[in-house]
Amino acid sequence: MKIAVVGATGMVGEVMLKVLAERNFPVTELIPVASERSIGKTITYKGINYKVVGLETAVSMRPDIALFSAGGSTSLEWAPKFAEVGTTVVDNSSAWRMDPTKKLVVPEINASELTKNDKIIANPNCSTIQLVMALNPLHKKYKIKRVVVSTYQSVSGTGVKAVKQLENEIAGLQGEMAYPYPIGRNALPHCDVFEENGYTKEEMKLAREPQKIMNDRSFSVSATAVRIPTSGGHSESVNVEFENDFNVADIRTLLSQTSGVVVQDNTDTNTYPMPIYAHDKDEVFVGRIRRDETQPNTLNMWIVADNLRKGAATNTIQIAEYLVENQLL
């Protein structure tokens, strides 16, 4: 099993290598791939040193699977080149997500749609993954009409430069700015670029991707995405209107029984999800589950996950595991 990790020296790439090792993915040959400035650098995987190679070299090595986390323009150019030589690409960027010819996959929800013909598979946006993990079982039982979500997203979602900006601000140092404003002691209602409709790209991903993953356009999602000064872990305040009424205790039970979801919801003991507890974990944590008392059939909940793991690296590797287990390569 020859595995290429494209973007191996980046934040998500490093977590991918860590998760591959943790989950004992059947790697017989690892091909770490990065941009030209990183070619020749050494990375260590399971105690063995590997030299970083360029994209052309990686394509010529014909890996079985290429796990991409190298940005949209790189994916658009290079994913088809890998696919042409028979490699199955699982891509973390937004490049292929809304392409009608590509699957957008959260394994617990729709991996069964994958076939051998799917040579480029899209990994959803980090905020979308944790949202649909909680929404999907509820939609099946109560039928969602509308979702309003406000996100509280960590700086690691932007990348190394943003993490450094926050660290510098905490330390009182001047440095390079990833954002147009300080992020320390601040909240920026500005994740990704603004589109013509006044929403950001991140907010539109949250509006469109859940419908594709859940294969249902009968419900709508309205989002406001906010960047906050946490170094890792995304949080979401979610308001869900259903067609059918529900019992809150039944919602807790249903979510507790959902693979990959952990309910942390006990106000008597101040138990609720927080980024500090989700750090380095693969589960999606749900709490503050309560009825919206202002309108019928409506629920409020709070969802937290590690955006570099289930929101990116872990979900990618779970897709790869499904491909291997079901002999779809």
Mean pLDDT of the chain: 98
Residues 111 and 150 in one domain: no
Residues 89 and 10 in one domain: yes
Confidence bin at 223 (pLDDT 50/70/90): very high
Tens-place pLDDT, residues 246-264: 999 999 999 999 999 999 9
Res 289: pLDDT: 98
Residues 97 and 233 in one domain: no
Provide the token pair at 286.
């749900």
Residues 190 and 287 in one domain: yes
Residues 136 and 107 in one domain: no
Residues 111 and 135 in one domain: no
What is the extent of the structural domain holding 182?
127-307
What CATH number has the domain bearing residue 18? 3.40.50.720
Average pLDDT on 20-38 reads 96
Average pLDDT on 75-90 reads 98
Q: What angle do CA 213, 314, 15 make, to 5 degrees?
A: 135
Confidence bin at 200 (pLDDT 50/70/90): very high
Residues 140 and 241 in one domain: yes
Task: Please give the share of the chain, as a percent, with pLDDT higher than 70.
Answer: 100
Average pLDDT on 269-279 reads 98
Spatial distance between the Cα atoms of 58 and 83, rounded to a whole number of angstroms:
12
Active site residues: 126, 234
Residues 142 and 52 in one domain: no
What CATH number has the domain bearing residue 217? 3.30.360.10
Number of domains in the chain: 2
Residues 302 and 209 in one domain: yes
Residues 253 and 118 in one domain: no
Residue 131: HSE in the Cβ half-sphere, 13 Å Cα cutoff: 32
CB 7 within 8 A of CB 34: yes
- The SS3 of residue 234 is strand
To the nearest 10°, the Cα dihedral for 103, 204, 76, 32? -80
